[in-house]
Structure 1
């Protein structure tokens, strides 16, 4: 009898065996379909602190009970970046495990500014649209609306629209047009001056925007900190949020991919970039993110830095996010690597503490 562990015999077995695949292909999605994702994590303070520590998000509201109480919370809430990653992580097996470029995310809304540890997530996605990709015939393009709920109460916690390239079962015949789906264009001209706020309070942002208003200037600055991506940020953090995408942990498969190696989860790159920005702000809570784009691969060994442009600052009150001693500031954030290569950009609105 042949020993199945004999290398030659086992190689023949591998060639003959059918692979039971995970995930869905482009052809499996149709506009209007709703997918209930299972399982959903129970959010934990320990995991939230691990995420914050690894991504340099050090706002004490999310670490220290005394500071959380002074902000009106019974206990430190889970960090919003950790919440977002857990909601998206639960959706990956059903939506994007087959692989494909994360093209962008829009309409990110935080419906509850203070989600407690111990909350059980329920995550649901609806297919918004599907379309062909003429530039990459082996992929199609799918957009989903994903919502994370409190499983006990049914309350919405976070929602967003995500667009991905998704592998096809059979490549589509290409028309050779060379169309690309990378979104976001360059701005038509750069200002003569870049102005920097004097501090991180709402009044500092309002004052510097006023100074920029009557001149060819923009409020834009870079952040000093950088974070080099390592095995923890590239592989461990995604897996801890149930993100099963092979791009982040299967070096064998990724050896033949365009990156040539495993790549960082986009929401880790995003969280690092926003952490750099938050370290120069007096942030009260997150409100929205829009027009988020991931421009290039991030791999182990890359160092992520942050660059911020301030777009607006006003007194507008956000329902559910009101805070009497804060104002609303809108930023455009950029992440770039050690070569100056942009890898992420997104527009973010947050409540920023007032000095008085």
Structure 2
């Protein structure tokens, strides 16, 4: 037991000597960013975009309306069909028009018989006048009766043609070439003159938006509008204002936007649009200078001593497809190096 303190002291001395002989690990030194590719962030003037809901539609909507009242006896189209201008869509029938046309036919036949008799009387009277049997007054009287009979015949024929044309107006034709959106009047229904039987798209496809009249003053024909590509199946991401309607409805101003390759299968589909309503100062960086990990955006910030540190930033879509707007995390004058340049 007496030797145990000496043993412990010897072991402690050995451990102390061993510790003094170990080499300390060196700390990593931060790498410096290369001069090539450095970007100084500056505040710049960009368009102030306002998110606005829009709808995919056509420039015009054509209504196929009944021109006469009657019974809908046929409907030749259904929703989704493409029609050409002048194509038969439906037919309306009014039995009274057929009876009326028959009555006018009888009146026309009677007027034709009366006109034929008057022509024959005029021919006989003229022959007897030349032989000295009738006086000039008799000839003039018969001639006037013949002219009156011819006029009555012309009037009867016009009435008959008008009645026949009215019956032919039961055919409802497509007013424009396009796609049938609504055709929900069942066959056998009673329709009135002017009632819509089908609605047809007309004109090119557009995205129609509405803005409050105070903000709509900034809208101009030719301005570029950002469209949500995910709402258009990635077909178009930018459009152009082609018309700003001059009327104000319930405090809203309507404008039409066109873009190449707009889909035509779903009329009325909602589309998000970013409309320029002014300009503002913002920090903009190329996408190549921003990296994303686990849903967080980072930039490589070059410090004053040349070392690089990763800084989280908040971003949103920039004025162009290859840029991002920095909402927070940087200040004007900060220097960045491209993402992935330093490892």
Both proteins in one fold, TM over 0.5: no
Higher strand share: 2
* Structure ID, larger Rg: 2
**Under a length normalisation based on structure 1, what TM-score does the superposition of the two structures give?**
0.17
